[in-house]
Amino acid sequence: MNNQIDLNKILKQFNIETNIENYGNGHINDTYLTQTKNYILQRINTNIFKNPAELMDNIENVTEFLRKKIAENRGDPDRETLSVIKTESGKNYYKYDDDNYFRVYKYIQDTYTIESIKDPHDMYNAGAGFGKFQALLNDFPASQLHETITDFHNTPKRVEAFKKAVEEDIMGRASSVQAEIDFVLSRSNIADVVVNDMKNGRIPVRVTHNDTKINNILFDNETGKAVCVIDLDTVMPGSMLYDFGDALRIGASTAAEDETNLNTVNFNIENFMYFTKGYAQEMAQYLTEREVELLAFSAKLLTYECGMRFLTDYLQGDTYFKIHREGHNLDRARNQFKLVSDIETKEEVMENIAKDMILCV
Ligand code: ADP
Ligand code: GN1
Ligand code: MG
C-alpha cells in the first residue's frame, strides 16, 4: 500500500488518535487495526470499486437495517453487524485524494477468522451465520442497493471476459496455460444455468452478500458460533446460490485456495453436509424447489467462476487480485480447477445430501 499516506492523519478525521498496524488477509482492500484494538481502518480498493460513495451508502443502509432486526431479536447490534464510524463532518468515508478513500468500522472483539476449515462443526456455524445474514435481509428493499460491481456473478459474462483475455493475451502467457484454458472452455455450458433461471423467474432475486469466503465471517472466541458477517462491499441483488456455492469453495476444500500440491486439494463432503445443515436451519423456510435442486451445482459453478477469474487476471497481468508471488493467480486457478474436477465426481451424492438436509429442518 501507498507508504506516503499518513494514516494517523486519516484517523484524526474520524476523531481517533492511536497508532495503527496492518491487519487481515483479504485479496482486495488494505486493512489496518488500531493499537487500541477498537477500530478497523480500511482503504477501499478503487481500482475495483469505482464508486466508493455508493458503496458506503449500501453498507450504511444494510448495516442500519440489520441493527434494527438484531435489536428486535434481542441480539447485540454492536457485535452482530458492522458499525460504520462517521468522520467529523458526518460522512461514512473519508476521501484522501482521488485514488484513496478510507472507512472505519468498530473492531469486533473476542472473535477470530478461519482461513481453512479443520473441524466440520465450524462449517455448521458458518452455514448458520451466512444463512442468518440472508434471512435477516429477506425483506430488505433490494431496489435501494447500488450495483457496486456490475455483473459480478454473471458467469456467462465472465466467460466472455475470459475469452477476450485469451484472445488479447497482453502478457504473452496464453500458450503456456493451454490446458487450463481448455478446462474453462470445455465447461462453459454450465455458466448460464443460474442467470437464465433468474431471468425466467425460476430463481428469485434476493439481497445477497456475494463474497462469502469463510474468512468473511467472525466467530466467537468462546462459543465458536458465527458472530458477524463482514466484508459487505458486494452486498447486492443476486441469487442465494452465489453465497451458498462460494462459501463451499474454500470451506469444503481440503487445502488452501493457493495450495500447489493438487493431490491435497479435494472437496470434503462432510464439510458440505455440515454447512448445508447450518444454512438450512436459518434459510430452508425461504428456499424454492429450484434453489434446493441447484445447491450442489452452485459449489461447482462458483468454484469454476472463481478459477476462471484467477486465470483471467493471470492472463491480464495480475491487476485485480493481490498476489504475493510470481504465478500466484495461476496457482489459484489450477487449485480451483482441481476442486471443480473433484466436485464433478461427487455432485450426485451432494445433491442427495442437500435435499436431505433441507427436508430434515
Ligand atoms: P477484504 O475485502 O480485503 O477481504 P475484509 O473486509 O474482509 O477485507 O477485511 C480483512 C480482514 O480484516 C477480515 O478477514 C478480518 O480478519 C478483519 N476484519 C475486518 N473487519 C473487521 C471488524 N470489524 N472486526 C474484526 N475484524 C475485522
Ligand atoms: C476476493 O475480498 P476477498 O478477499 O474476501 C473477491 C472474491 C473472490 C475471492 C477469492 C470483491 O474476496 O470475489 O471470490 O477474492 N472479492 C472481490 O479468494 O472481487
Ligand atoms: Mg474479506
Distance from residue 270's CA to the centre of ligand 1 (Å): 27
Q: Length of the chain, please?
A: 361
Beta strands in the chain (DSSP E): 20-22, 30-34, 39-44, 84-85, 94-97, 100-106, 111-112, 206-208, 217-220, 226-229, 236-238
Tell me the pLDDT of the chain averaged across its residues. Answer: 96
pLDDT digits (tens, 9 = 90+) for 178-219: 999 999 999 999 999 999 999 999 999 999 999 999 999 999
Ligand 1 pocket: which of 56, 218, 320 to mutate (most atoms <8 Å of CB)?
218
pLDDT digits (tens, 9 = 90+) for 245-277: 999 999 999 999 999 999 999 999 999 999 999
Ligand nearest to the CA of 310: 2
Name the band, by pLDDT with cuts 50, 70 and 90, for residue 42: very high
Ligand 2 pocket: which of 25, 28, 40, 244 to mutate (most atoms <8 Å of CB)?
28
Beta strands in 74-172 (DSSP E): 84-85, 94-97, 100-106, 111-112
Give the three cell numbers for residue 314: 493471470
Q: Is the pLDDT of residue 66 over 90?
A: yes
Nearest 5°: the CA angle 280, 286, 291 is 75
Distance from residue 26's CA to the centre of ligand 3 (Å): 4
Distance from residue 348's CA to the centre of ligand 1 (Å): 35
Q: Is 213 in the pocket of ligand 2 (CB under 6 A)?
A: yes
Least confident of 24-38, 315-329, 337-351: 24-38
User: Which residue in the block uniquely carries the three cell numbers 455440515?
Assistant: 274
Amino acid at 159: V
Least confident of 80-84, 126-130, 138-142, 163-167: 138-142
Q: Is the pLDDT of residue 283 over 70?
A: yes
Give the three cell numbers for residue 329: 493467480
Q: Is 216 in the pocket of ligand 2 (CB under 6 A)?
A: yes
Q: Is 55 helix (H, G, I), strand (E, B) or coil?
A: helix
CB 222 within 8 A of CB 110: yes
pLDDT digits (tens, 9 = 90+) for 158-182: 999 999 999 999 999 999 999 999 9
Q: Which residue, among 350, 360, 355, 203, has the nearest Cα to 288 in the 3D structure?
A: 203
User: Which residue in the block uniquely carries the three cell numbers 435489536?
Assistant: 71
For atom 13 of ligand 2, the residue with the nearest CA is 211
> What value does the mean pLDDT take over residues 110-116?
95
Q: Is 321 helix (H, G, I), strand (E, B) or coil?
A: coil
Q: Which atom of ligand 1 is nearest to the CA of 111?
A: 25
Q: Is 265 helix (H, G, I), strand (E, B) or coil?
A: coil
Give the three cell numbers for residue 178: 493451454
Confidence (pTM) = 0.96
Burial of 56 (0-12, 13-18, 19+ CB in 10 A): buried
Ligand nearest to the CA of 115: 1
> What is the predicted pLDDT for the residue at 183?
98
> What value does the mean pLDDT take over residues 312-340?
98
Ligand nearest to the CA of 215: 1
Amino acid at 269: I
Name the band, by pLDDT with cuts 50, 70 and 90, for residue 24: confident
Q: Is the pLDDT of residue 3 over 70?
A: no
Q: How far apart are CA 182 and CA 335, in angstroms?
A: 15
> What is the predicted pLDDT for the residue at 1?
52
> What value does the mean pLDDT take over residues 228-257?
97
* Residue 97, beta-bridge partner list: 100
> What value does the mean pLDDT take over residues 5-20?
94
